[in-house]
């Protein structure tokens, strides 16, 4: 069963979605009194059994799948796509992204570009 804190987080996230504001589980955790160190790990909430129960009640996978199927066949999909994306994020369904790999790849590309420019100047 979901804790009162988990219910508060879900309620606040839902309000932000309705207002078309950015959602942040970490910020909502901090607002209701989680410690700073806990807020750095929103998976504490997202992976909990209580949170999963809340999400299944209010954002069931079946409903998300129906909207997703609808989007695949619809021309004007932007608004619903944003809602679907947020739903998947809230439920923690996206695979984690290794930011370090992306950052290192960007730095490598930048270095390569500078070397290319420098070699062209020397020609």
Q: Which pLDDT does position 35 carry in this prediction? A: 94
CA–CA dist 107, 85 (Å, integer): 29
Q: In the chain, where are the structural domains located?
A: 4-122
- The dihedral formed by the CA atoms of 74, 79, 81 and 85, expressed in degrees to the nearest 10: -170
What's the average pLDDT block by block, 10 residues per block, for the chain (123 residues)? 92 88 90 92 91 90 85 80 81 69 67 79 70
Phi then psi for residue 92, to 5 deg, are: 70, 35
DSSP state, residue 94: S
Q: Which pLDDT does position 6 carry in this prediction? A: 94
Question: Which pTM does this prediction carry?
Answer: 0.57
CB atoms within 10 A of CB 55: 21
């Amino acid at each position: 069963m979901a804790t009162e804190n988990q219910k508060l987080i879900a309620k606040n996230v839902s309000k932000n979605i309705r207002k078309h504001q950015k959602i942040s589980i970490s910020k909502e955790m901090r607002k209701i009194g989680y410690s700073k160190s806990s807020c750095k790990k929103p998976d504490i909430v997202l992976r909990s059994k209580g949170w999963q129960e809340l999400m299944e009640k209010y954002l069931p996978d079946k409903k998300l799948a129906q909207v997703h199927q609808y989007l695949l066949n619809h021309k004007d999909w932007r608004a619903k796509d944003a809602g679907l994306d947020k739903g998947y994020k809230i439920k923690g369904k996206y695979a984690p992204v290794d930011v370090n790999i992306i950052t290192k790849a960007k730095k490598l590309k930048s270095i390569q570009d500078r070397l290319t420019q420098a070699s062209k100047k020397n020609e």
